[in-house]
Amino acid sequence: MALLSSPFAKKTNSVTQMMLWVVAATLPGLFVLMYFFGIGVLVNLIIACSTALFAEALILKLRNRPVLPILWDGSAFVTAWLLALALPPLLPWWMTVLGTAFAIVFAKHVYGGLGNNIFNPAMVGYVLLLISFPLEMTTWLPPQSLAENPVGVVDAISIILSGSASDEATVNMLKQGVDGYTMATPLDHIKTELAQGYRIPEAEASPIINGLSGVGWQWVNLAFLAGGLLLMFKKIIGWQIPIALLLGMGVISLPLFFVNSDHYLFPMFHGFAGATMLGAFFIATDPVTASTTIKGRWIFGLGIGIITVLIRTFGGYPDAIAFAVLLMNMAVPMIDYYTKPRTYGHNKRPTKDSKATRGGSDAQ
Amino acid sequence: MERSSPTPKSRASEIPIYEIPGGIHPEEHKLRSSQPEIKRLPLASEFIINLKGQAGNRSLPIVEVGDTVLKGQVIAECDGIFSAYQHAPTSGEVVAIEKRTIAHPSGLDDLCIVIKADGEDRWCELTPTHSLDDMDREAVLAQIFEKGVVGLGGASFPSHIKLKQHEGIHTLIINAAECEPYITCDDKLMQEHAKEVLLGAEIISKLYQDIDIVIGIEDNKPQAIDAIQQAREALKLSNIKLGVVPTKYPSGGEKQLIQLLTGKEVPHGKLPADLGLVMHNVGTCYAIQQALNEGKPLVERLVTLTGDSCNTPGNYWVPFGTPVNHLVQATKSETPKRLIMGGPMMGYQLPSADVGIVKATNCIIMAADGELGLDQTALPCIRCGACMDACPASLLPQQLFWHAQADEFDKAEEYDLFDCIECGACAYVCPSHIPLVQHYRYAKSTIRNKRVEKIKAEKARERYEARQERLERVKREKAERHRKAAEARKKAAQEAGKKDEKKAAVQAALARVQAKKKAQQAEGSDNSEPSSDKDNSDKNNSEGNN
């Protein structure tokens, strides 16, 4: 549109730039993931991103939208990128394709495309896979240092694409850790142990647990934290949601921990386990589906933090960022409505005033 | 209303400075026009004076085609109080009073007085005021009014209206913030005419009692700050304080500057005067000083001519009505890609270069190709909130856009659409390149139109109902008349009927009498009984008929 009206000056920022910054900020996390869990992470990324771009292009064509300019905004790419980062490294390729395509077609374009979707597309794709294939989705490779059979590049690609490794080693063999059992994430491990009647200190004796959370996982989370802080300082994301999310986890996990430290995890563990940092800085901050007001961002972040810890502690799934994000996505329109800032020169929000008068007339 | 706390960091400010929400830091582009001295361009040959050259009503021309006028002579009177006098910008002949394209984004025509300059630029007789102390408030106001002074900050609101209220005013704020990029006319005016500006401020302050004067200026104008300080010392004016605010757009917005300097917000639906404040631009102060001390009516102003296409950027005294074309030629500029009147943030693209400059014209940007590059496709809003962070009115531009785009105007109003000052900060930061302000203007004008239409419809309904009632009444009256007429007729008929009865009775009686007479005559002649019987039966019959 040729602009005939002011302003004629424009900041040199764009959606594409923002998206590229998001991708760039995940790189430390990606490298750490690859270091600990092998090349499968990268293979997932490639599969997911190609699927997303193809699905986006196809559906834009079907909807008679300009394909290249919208593809260029980078949003589909970022959706796939973030989804792939959350997937287990040896997930069969078709699951990745299914999840990504579902995210783009259903979570995004059925609502009207970028800017109109209510739910975080990456998390919709993730949850679809999680509830359809719970076993595959919670089975992670052991960190390479703990693996009985470290996975080579060829093996990883072969497993993802065909389901079995080149030298006919079974997937389960590759997925085994030092104790010979198929590996799960530290959160999953703790959950299973608790279910079997162990106490947390006993569960934590496992070789998979060390330091802040678990082998590899603390570094993954630290790397995503670093990238997230970069985004925050570059003002690509607001700081309220990540901080509120972590705070939300703290306010719920700390009292639980003090009540019974045998049964409830130390807040720090929550903070550096699973997808916490990825979720806090990259997933929950998706501007389209997050609350848009400042106060709303606080509520949104706190909500995700609290729900995550509640599901991790009392629910059926080891990690819960995806569910928590989707649940809070649902609440966004209401949060936004009740957190309008006070406009210059106004005492109260006009809606409150009008509501007051409405209430008054009702009383009559 | 006080919610922000003062920040002591502002350089050299003599009063505490508060904070405003939002704001942006666009590239300034001010240096090229702020370096050269103020100059004057050769006179244009033709001047197009727009009669709608101020906020409020169109002025009414009092000259005719063929009249010769002198510079400063009144050529149009104000139409009501919310209007302004207009004066000839130079000496010459009125060659036309007709519709010409005016400086308005719509490119609409409006009535203009066209003066062909005689090149002599001869003033009419000027009557400076020598002693202000002898004049009462009304007389000063009248002078300001008659000299055609309007606010020169950009809105060209007639100054006498702003100055009228004098109860409870305790502070005069001089708006010298000039926060728009490119524009430097106020900066240069202060640098070169600081004394006149301060004297103008003094004249305004004399209209009130015990009033403080605060000059609100952005810290990117150190030379102007120095010039003001020196002039203040030279003139020994101790009641003037400098409020140096950090450079940030839109610090020069009236409400924003008030918040910066006082920490107070003008309550919704109120005026600065309700807070005891009155604000005037530096250019207006200068114009008021010229009007009273020199007796000069407002016939020209300082205009920043700038932009990549402008060969000799700078600030020039430009008489009103000078065609923009002439300015482009006189600055030996290349053909600009776009002509922007005003700043890049709030100005508008001129539909034609043949328009005359008006009292509100503070800047003409002769933009080269790609200078104000804007032809980016708008992408969907991703609700990133950058606009919200930039909004100085604490609005939610992303929600306003959402509702404006969907034509949900009542929702947009609920989000305080009309508190938007159209500063453009939101559109400036938008990563999706959405022309947000355009959407708000569209929503605002649609809502205004709807209001007008609603009022019209209401009036039409009232008219219709009145007509219906009138018709009903006429019908009723007619029916009543008919009823009465019918009654009257009936009565008349009855009366007529009664008369017939009497007549018949009389006739019958007469007939009887005659019959008796006949009978008596017959008795008298042949005395026969049967004939009298026959007469009796006749009489009975006739009675029965009656």
Q: Dump pLDDT digits (tens) for B172-182.
A: 999 999 999 99
Bind-site residues of B for [4Fe-4S] cluster = 381, 384, 387, 391, 420, 423, 426, 430
Please report, in range form, the residues annotated as the binding site of B.
Answer: 381, 384, 387, 391, 420, 423, 426, 430
Q: For A345, which residue in chain B has the nearest alpha carbon?
A: B267
pLDDT digits (tens, 9 = 90+) for A22-37: 999 999 999 999 999 8
Pair of tokens at residue B112 = 């203009």
Output the average pLDDT for chain A. Answer: 87
Q: Distance (Å, rounded) from C-alpha B405 to C-alpha B414?
A: 15
- Mean of pLDDT values over B4-25: 76
A331 to A297, A337, B55: CA distances (angstroms): 12, 10, 46
Q: Over 90: is that where the pLDDT of B332 sits?
A: no
pLDDT of residue A70: 87
Q: Which residues in chain A have Cβ-Cβ distances shorter than 8 Å to B344?
A: 6-9
Which pLDDT band, with edges at 50, 70 and 90, does A142 fall under? confident
Higher pLDDT, B38 or A358: B38
At A360 the pLDDT is: 33
Residue B258 has pLDDT above 90, yes or no: yes
- At residue B30 the predicted structure's pLDDT band, cuts being 50, 70 and 90, is very high
pLDDT reported for residue B527 = 52
Q: What is the pLDDT of residue B525?
A: 59
Per DSSP, helices labelled H in B99-154 are 137-146
**Which tokens hold the place of A160?**
């993802």
B272 contacts B279 by C-beta, under 8 angstroms: yes
Nearest to B217 by CA among B166, B183, B251: B251
B86: enclosing H helix or E strand: strand B86-87
**Contact call for A9 and B372, based on CB within 8 A:** yes
| CB < 8 Å to B375, chain A | 2-3
CB contact under 8 A, B349 and A69: no
User: Does the distance separating the beta carbons of A3 and B270 come in below 8 Å?
Assistant: no
Would the pLDDT of B535 be above 60? no
Query: What pLDDT, on the 0 to 100 scale, is given for residue A109?
Result: 94
Predicted confidence band at A213 (pLDDT cuts at 50, 70, 90)? Answer: confident
- Kindly report the number of other CB atoms within 10 A of residue B452's CB atom: 10
* Residue A168 phi, psi dihedral angles, 5° rounding: 65, 20
What pLDDT score does A4 carry? 66
List pLDDT tens digits, range B132-148.
Answer: 777 888 899 999 999 99
B280-290 residue pLDDT tens: 999 999 999 99
B75-99: pLDDT as tens digits: 999 888 888 999 999 999 999 999 9
Nearest CA in chain A to B349: A4
> Alpha-carbon distance B433 to A300, whole Å?
27
Residue B428 with chain A: CB contacts under 8 Å: 7, 9-11
Distance from CA of A139 to the nearest CA of B (A): 34
Closest alpha carbon to B87 in B78, B79, B96 = B78
How far does the CA of residue B172 sit from the closest CA of chain A (Å)? 20
- Six-digit token string for B389: 């962070």
Of A1, A11, A287, the CB nearest to B385: A287
pLDDT (0 to 100) of residue B534: 46
Q: What is the band of A201 on the pLDDT scale with cuts at 50, 70, 90?
A: confident
Ramachandran assignment for B22, one of left (phi > 0), alpha (psi -120 to 50 degrees), beta (any other): left
Asked whether the beta carbons of residue B342 and residue A6 sit closer than 8 angstroms, the reply is: yes
pLDDT tens for A226-271 read 999 999 999 999 999 999 999 999 999 999 999 988 889 889 999 9
DSSP state for residue B384 in the 8-state scheme: -
A chain contacts of residue B414, beta-carbon cutoff 8 Å: 350-351, 354
Question: pLDDT per residue over B117-136, tens digit each?
Answer: 999 999 999 988 877 777 88
Partners of B265 on chain A (C-beta within 8 Å) are 344-345
| Domain ranges across chain B | 1-39+141-298, 379-500
Instruction: Please count the residues of chain A.
Output: 364
Q: Which sign does the torsion angle of CA B451, B453, B455, B461 carry?
A: negative
Structure confidence by residue, pLDDT tens digits, B505-529: 888 888 888 888 888 877 665 554 4
- Enter the DSSP assignment of A343: P
CA–CA separation, B97 and B94 (whole Å) = 8
Average pLDDT estimate for A121-143: 90
CA distance linking residue B178 with residue B29, whole number of Å: 13
Say if residue B543's pLDDT is above 50.
Answer: no
Q: What percent of chain A clears pLDDT 90, i.e. is strictly above it?
A: 59
Q: Which residue of A has its CA nearest to B259?
A: A344
Q: Could you give the CA distance from residue B33 to residue B31 in angstroms, rounded to a whole number?
A: 6
Question: How close, in Å, is residue A327 to chain B by CA atoms?
Answer: 19
Q: pTM of the entire structure? A: 0.84
pLDDT band at A197 (very low <50, low <70, confident <90, very high): confident
Do B219 and B10 form a contact (C-beta atoms < 8 A)?
A: yes
Q: Is A133 helix (H, G, I), strand (E, B) or coil?
A: coil
Report pLDDT for A110: 93
Distances in Å between the Cα of B377 and the Cα atoms of A11, A114, A301, B146, B314 are: 14, 15, 32, 49, 33
Fold of B1-39+141-298: Rossmann fold (3.40.50)
Cα separation, B259 vs B21, in Å, equals 10
Question: What six digits make up the tokens of B518?
Answer: 């006949």
- Residues in B closer than 8 angstroms to A342, CB to CB, are 394
Joined tokens for residue B87: 């004066």
Q: Of A7, A70, A287, which has the smallest distance from its Cβ to B383's Cβ?
A: A287
pLDDT for the residue numbered A356: 37
- pLDDT at site A167: 62
CB B86 within 8 A of CB B57: no
In the 8-state DSSP scheme, what is residue B43? Answer: P
Helix/strand/coil for B300? strand
Which of A3, A5, A8 would you mutate first to test chain B, the one with the most B CBs within 10 A?
A8
Q: Note the pLDDT of residue B532.
A: 46
Which among A70, A238, A345 has the least Cβ separation from residue B419?
Answer: A345
The span from the CA of B406 to the CA of B531, in Å, is 112
Interface test with B, best of A14, A70, A344 (most B CBs within 10 A): A344
What are the chain A neighbours of B267 within 8 Å (beta carbons)? 345-347
The candidate with the shortest Cα–Cα distance to B519, out of B507, B505, B533, is B533
**Could you give the 3-state DSSP secondary structure of residue B158?**
strand
**Full DSSP string of A182-238:** BP--HHHHHHHHHHTT--HHHHTTSTTEETTEETTHHHHHHHHHHHHHHHHHTTSS-
SS3 A68: helix
Pairwise CA distance, residues A98 & B451, whole Å: 52
Quote the DSSP letter at residue B263: S
- pLDDT surpassing 70 at residue A11: yes
* Chain A positions with Cβ closer than 8 Å to B: 1-11, 13-15, 17-18, 66, 69-70, 73, 75, 113-116, 238, 287-288, 290, 292-294, 336, 340-347, 350-351, 354
The span from the first CA to the last CA of chain A, in angstroms, equals: 52
Q: pLDDT tier at A182 (50, 70, 90 boundaries)?
A: low
Nearest CA in chain A to B20: A344
CA distance A12 to chain B (A): 8
Residue B61 has pLDDT above 80, yes or no: yes
DSSP A34-49: HHHH-THHHHHHHHHH
Pairwise CB contact (< 8 Å): B338 & A8: yes
Q: Which of B432, B377, B401, B376 is nearest to A75 (CA)?
A: B432
pLDDT, tens only, B394-425: 999 999 999 999 999 999 999 999 999 999 99
Instruction: Output the CA angle B29-B33-B37, nearest 5 degrees.
Output: 155
Residues 6+ apart with CB under 8 A from B19: B4, B5, B7, B259, B260
Express the helix, strand and coil content of chain A in percent, nearest 5 each. 65, 0, 35
The answer to whether B59 touches B79, Cβ cutoff 8 Å, is yes
**Contact predicate B414/B423, CB 8 Å:** no
Nearest chain A Cα to B27, which residue? A9
pLDDT, average across residues B223-227? 95
Alpha helices in A38-152 (DSSP H): 40-62, 67-71, 75-86, 93-102, 121-132, 134-138
Query: Which residues of chain A make contact with B431, given a CB cutoff of 8 A?
Result: 13-15, 17-18
Task: Confirm if B94 and B69 have CB atoms less than 8 A apart.
Answer: yes
Q: For strands B92-101 and B68-69, give the pairing.
A: antiparallel
CA nearest to A13 within chain B: B431
* DSSP code per residue over B316-361: EEEETT-BHHHHHHHTT----SEEEES-TTT-EE-S-S-PBP-TT-
Q: How far apart are CA A129 and CA A84, in angstroms?
A: 12
Q: How does pLDDT run across B288-305, given as a tens digit for each residue?
A: 999 999 999 999 999 999
Contact A345 B265 (CB under 8 A): yes
- At residue B377, the pLDDT reads 81
pLDDT at B122: 93
The CATH number for B379-500, chosen from 1.20.58, 1.10.1060, 1.25.40, 1.10.3470, is 1.10.1060
- With b for 16 or more beta-carbon neighbours within 10 A and e for fewer, the B413-445 pattern comes to bbbbbebbbbbbbbbbbbbbbbbbbbbbbbbbe
Contact yes or no for B24 and A341 at CB 8 A: no
CA distances from B232 to A323, B196, B198, B208, B239 (A): 66, 11, 7, 20, 9
Measured in residues, chain B has a length of: 546
- Contact of A283 with A127, CB cutoff 8 Å: no
Rounded Cα distance, A287 and A149, in Å:
41
CA distance to A140, A159, A161, B296, per residue, from A166 (Å) = 19, 8, 11, 95
Per mean pLDDT, which range of A7-21, A246-260, A346-360, B155-169 is the poorest? Answer: A346-360
Phi first, then psi: give them for residue A326, nearest 5 degrees.
-65, -40
| Residue B372, token pair as written in the block | 């104000």
Cβ neighbours of residue B158 under 8 Å, at least 6 residues apart?
B54, B55, B56, B78, B81, B82, B83, B84, B145, B149, B150, B151
Instruction: Give the closest-approach CA distance of B365 to chain A in angstroms.
Output: 11
Q: How confident is the model at residue A178 (pLDDT cuts 50, 70, 90)?
A: low
